[in-house]
Amino acid sequence: MLFFRNDYGQGCIPEIMELLNNTNLNSFVGYGEDDLCLQAKSLIQSKMIDHDVDIHFISGGTLTNKTVISSVLRPFEAVISCDTGHIATHETGAIESTGHKVITVPNVNGKLTPQLIRKAFDEHMLTYEHLVYPKMVYISNSTEFGTVYTRQEIEEIVSICKELDLYLYMDGARLGTALMSGVDYTLNDLAEWCDVFYIGGTKNGALMGEAVVICNESLKPFFRFCMKQNGAMMAKGWLLGIQFKGLFENDSFYRAAKHANSMAQKLQDALSELKYPFLMKSETNQIFPIVTDKEYEFLSSVVDFEIWEKQDQNIAIRFVTSWTTTKEDLDSLIEYLKQAKALED
């Protein structure tokens, strides 16, 4: 069966596996204070030459979001997210479990807008201390719909955050695909715009791991205390350092994301030619066609993918490409899509 379910269903890129094999019998100090983590941090820092950032490695995205948000916010403070944001939909109330409310607003193509942020903020100012205080804005790039924020969109969000004195936190689980989608900004720009963001490894060729980048000086102290308290500090921390050394030593991070995007866009083009409608057009590696019940029944027998949204007569599904997706995989999927469409004739 073809695999288009997610972008973390395989192991790791060869560069990481080589590092794992070469260091397997070496001995390291624990908790991320080893030379491999220091080397990985230096490599990431080199991509943000205009900024002095703190970098920390955490094993997964939900744990990263929980640790970052709980470390930044005071007990009565809350985070604004669009209604499709990962913290609002796929993390089992992890943020709320720390006592911090997630204030959700309607998404616009999977994104937040300055107008939505202002509206949520103003509504919570009406009775002031009787409601939680919005203090952080959470955005995902790329979004849960595979869309990407433009430079102008981010700069406008930065502007409203500064005006309202809100922290900006970017979830970068799929940041590689966002950066390789043709945008005119880099990690160096993100370090200028965000108070905190993270670079996703799990969904871009690593076995595991996310790199938290703290840009705001006031948020840097005591973060490792928060990591330890949240169970986010691995004893074998060098394993996370290896992931990001492998990703950034020779820019494999970017190549893996570029390949995933390329495969996805070819798939999206083929779906368009076959007259499949879309829930939303994507700029990255998540593609959302809409299929009939008959098409779904056939496709699900030969391809592993997820249902994204059930509609009255149809089903929106999600195909995800990754660094492992081959031309042969793609050609086979397109052939199956042709066969599924023929069932409706």
For residue 343, the model assigns a pLDDT of: 87
Q: Span 197-225, mean pLDDT? A: 98
Interatomic CA distance for residues 288 and 253, integer angstroms = 24
Count the domains in the chain. Answer: 2
Measure the CA–CA gap between 199 and 213, rounded to whole angstroms: 8
What average pLDDT is seen over the chain? 97
pLDDT band at 208; cut points 50, 70, 90: very high
Domain that holds residue 324: 2-6+253-342
- Given 228, 251, 274, which residue is the final one in a domain? 251
Written as six digits, the tokens of 182 are 């043709």
Q: Which amino acid is located at 173 in the chain?
A: A
Rounded Cα–Cα distance for residues 243 and 239 (Å)? 7
**Would the pLDDT of 107 be above 80?**
yes
Residue 345's pLDDT is what? 66
128-152 pLDDT, tens digit per residue, is: 999 999 999 999 999 999 999 999 9
Same domain, 165 and 20: yes
pLDDT at residue number 15: 98
- Mean pLDDT along residues 227-247: 98
Model confidence at 253: pLDDT above 70: yes
Stretch (H or E) spanning 78:
strand 77-82
With residue 220 as reference, give the H or E element that holds it.
none
User: How large is the average pLDDT for residues 211-218?
Assistant: 98
Q: Measured between alpha carbons, how far is 199 from 215 in angstroms, rounded to an integer? A: 13
Both tokens of residue 236? 């074998």
pLDDT in tens, 182-205: 999 999 999 999 999 999 999 999
- Report CA dihedral (181, 4, 246, 192) to the nearest 10 degrees: 30
pLDDT band at residue 76 under the 50/70/90 scheme: very high
CATH of the domain at 101: 3.40.640.10
Are residues 165 and 192 both part of a single domain? yes
Q: Mean per-residue pLDDT for 289-307?
A: 97
Residues 16, 245: Cα–Cα separation, whole Å: 8
Residue 195 and residue 60 share a domain: yes
Examine the domain organization and report whether 232 and 317 are in the same domain.
no
Residues 244 and 264 in one domain: no
Identity of the residue numbered 267: L
List the one residue out of 313, 262, 321 whose CA is nearest residue 287: 321
* Same domain assignment for residues 208 and 124: yes
